[in-house]
Structure 1
Amino acid sequence: MLIYKILFHIAAAIKKVWLKLIYGNAVVFGKGVTWRSHFHLAIEPKAKVEIGEHCFFNHDCSISAMQQVTIGANTLFGENVRIYDHNHRFRQVKNIADQGYTMGAVSIGKNCWICSNVIILKGTVIEDGCVIGANCVVSGHIPANTLVKMEPAYTMSPIERTS
């Protein structure tokens, strides 16, 4: 087990260097950021992605930025998380690809846990200490220390903390 963890950290370090070569100052990785296999990052010109210290991305996560995505320190991502700061315009039925995009910066706070199969849409603000449950599609403002889950339907509630 330990050897796999070491190999994932080495692979992530190599990929960080590669991504910095491709995107330059458009991407900022805090100290200790790492991921497992198949982490994807797409940053359009003039966009920026900032990932705080000690964030972890599990298998198959991706970030796609046309404007800005900011992630606070110590935030964890489950498998298959997708983050988009843009969406296609679709006023007309045909030629959707030619209608351009709408954009809205995405901000994810510190000490959050974004569970598996979550999709975070443009303009979303997730404040510090939130847990976003598996399979949620998130849009809008999520207050600090909130649990968002899909049982039996979308619900938001404060996280009960115990000392």
Structure 2
Amino acid sequence: MMASSKEILALGLCPLATLANHLTAPWQRLWAFARLKACLPDVSHSVVVMGLPELHGSRAIALGRNLYLYRDLYLETQAKGFIQIGDDVVLSRGVHLVAFAGITIGAGSMIGEYASIRDANHCFGDGLAIRDSGHAAAPVKIGRNVWIGRGACILSGVEIGDGAVVGANAVVTHHVPANAVVAGVPARMLGQAVAA
């Protein structure tokens, strides 16, 4: 069986493409870090930035040291809202943080892909369109060494205790005790996290 010209060309270019990726990836991370530092001057040199987060609002954002920030993050602060992220936190691809009051994430926590943490809900029922009716906000506090699974949604006013685990796609509407394991819609207690 003869190889097509496309297959032969791909075989020849594959090593070149691999080399180009190895050479450009560090420069892409450096460029993303430099762009983030231009927006948030207090960012530590220890933060790894895989792609510039999408920043909206007042940019009242404080980032800890040794963070790992994946691509496609969305960080928004409005009104008096702020986002404070502790040391050694991982924000996976597509995480959304929206703060009208405040979001605090403790050191060592890991937030899975496409998780959403929002401290405000739209007001409605006053005769105005939902878009024009404002927000009701309450701070969200996530403790230290918390693991939030892929696609989870943490809502207004929730506190998650140190060492807790939130299952993938859970919707957290109430406080979660330290070391608890919760999952489901709405999230319910499944047990206790086991220390490794």
TM-score for both structures, normalised by structure 1: 0.85
State the one-letter code of the partner of 1:32. N
Contact 1:106 1:125 in 2 (8 A): yes
Give the Cα–Cα distance (whole angstroms) in 2 for the partners of residues 123 and 116 of structure 1.
Answer: 20
More strand by share: 1
Paired position in structure 2 for 1:16: 36
TM-score for both structures, normalised by structure 2: 0.72
1:39 aligned onto 2:59 = no
Map residues 1-163 of structure 1 onto 2, 5 A cutoff: 10=30, 13-20=33-40, 26-92=60-126, 95-150=129-184, 154-161=187-194
Which segments of 5 or more consecutive residues in structure 1 lack a partner in the other structure?
A: none
Which segments of 5 or more consecutive residues in structure 2 lack a partner in the other structure?
A: 1-21, 42-54
Contact 2:102 2:119 in 1 (8 A): yes
State the one-letter code of the partner of 1:157. L
Cα RMSD after superposing both structures? 2.9
Give the Cα–Cα distance (whole angstroms) in 1 for the partners of residues 27 and 163 of structure 2.
Answer: 30
State the one-letter code of the partner of 1:161. V
Stretch of structure 1 that moved more, 36-45 or 118-127? 36-45
The CA deviation string for residues 20-79 of structure 1, in whole angstroms up to 9 with x for no partner, is 157788211110112111011111142211000010011111111111000000000111
Contact 1:8 1:37 in 2 (8 A): no
Runs of 4+, deviation exceeding 6 Å: 22-25
State the one-letter code of the partner of 1:80. Y
Q: Percent of aligned positions with the same letter in both sequences?
A: 29
Paired position in structure 1 for 2:10: none
**Cα offset, 1:17, TM superposition:** 1.2
The 3 A distance-change label for structure 1 pair 114 and 139 is same
State the one-letter code of the partner of 2:151. N
The 3 A distance-change label for structure 1 pair 140 and 154 is closer
Contact 2:171 2:187 in 1 (8 A): no
User: Tell me, what secondary structure is at the counterpart of 2:131?
Assistant: helix
Q: Which has the larger radius of gyration?
A: 2
